A = this chain, B = another copy of it.
Amino acid sequence: MPTADLSLNLATVRKQWSMREAVEAAARHGFAGVAPWRDMVADAGTAQAVRLFRDSGLRVTGYCRAGLFPAADAAGRQAAIDDNKRAIDEAAAIGAECVVMIGGGLPQGSRDIVGARQMFIDGLVAVLPHARAAKVPLALEPMHPMYAADRGVVVTLAEMIDLCDQFGEGLGIAVDTYHVWWDPNLAREIARAGSRIISHHICDWLVPTRHMLTDRGMMGDGAIDFPAIRRMIEAAGYRGIQEVEIFSDHWWSRPGDEVLATAMERFRTVCQV
């Protein structure tokens, strides 16, 4: 039985374990859920993944990841739309509670960030009916501005919440501490997000950060005030599960059981209000 309202994003142990090993370890360590990535489900086969998650008794708190709509030409943008629809279908098949969507980077050679943001919106609008029909919410996740060029042109909660305001049903917000902790409007925007918050990821910001993608921190090892952000999120009405998601060369080099035990201990000691 789960011992904490904590989910494990499987990227956290992707270098140590197969998806099956990671899911079994998550259950063993008392996690209440897991969040797989598309490549993991593809490697296992969707039918096998469905059985694995069902037999685990764990929630599937999110499916990573989709969005990434900007592309250099119309064919590329259509391919991204088609791929997002497949991601939604896969998420529905495995019982994922949402699909995590990020902005995507600038198209190859482009310096038009405003245009790329519009491509994200256009793609989102194109796939939203599919998501609604599948009853899979799309969790819009702003990315840290240091990823604006190559991964996520949408960088603030405010922009993502504006999209929820505009397009409504079927959209929600993913608040990842790593991506939003720096935002001077954090409290205001989390309050505005309110009932649209459907996903809460936790990960710390290390000082120094030695690599932009693969030097994220275990909760408590960095600069982020987790209780402060959790208080904002609870005040907005979300009291649900948190999901630990850490991309880290350090933690990928440690035994998986050590990573999970540490994450669970830090969740209890660092992340509580």
Contact = CB atoms under 8 A, between A and B. Distances in A.
Contacts of A224: 111
B209 A184 contact: no
Interface of A: 105-106, 111-113, 117, 144-146, 148-150, 154-156, 158-159, 181-184, 205, 207-209, 212, 222-225, 228
Contacts of A223: 106, 111, 113, 148-149
A203 to B, nearest CB: 14
A102 to B, nearest CB: 14
Nearest to A184: B159
B159 A205 contact: no
B145 A113 contact: no
Contacts of A212: 146, 208-209, 212
Nearest to A224: B111
Contacts of A113: 181-182, 223, 225
Nearest to A109: B223
13 contacts: A111-B224, A111-B228, A113-B182, A113-B223, A145-B182, A146-B209, A148-B181, A148-B205, A149-B223, A150-B207, A154-B184, A155-B182, A155-B184
A117 B186 CA distance: 14
Nearest to A222: B149
State the number of copies, please.
Answer: 2
A228 B113 CA distance: 11
A146 B144 contact: yes
Contacts of A149: 205, 207, 222-223
Of A149, A209, A228, chain B has the most CB atoms within 10 Å of the CB of: A149
A212 B212 CA distance: 8
A70 to B, nearest CB: 12
A184 B144 CA distance: 12
Contacts of A183: 145, 155
Nearest to A179: B145
A203 B113 CA distance: 17
A146 B223 CA distance: 12
Contacts of A225: 111-113
Contacts of A158: 184
Contacts of A146: 144-146, 209, 212
Contacts of A209: 146, 212
Given A144-B146, A146-B146, A209-B212, 11 more contacts: A111-B224, A111-B225, A113-B181, A113-B225, A145-B182, A149-B222, A150-B207, A155-B182, A155-B183, A156-B184, A158-B184
Nearest to A143: B182
A184 B117 contact: yes
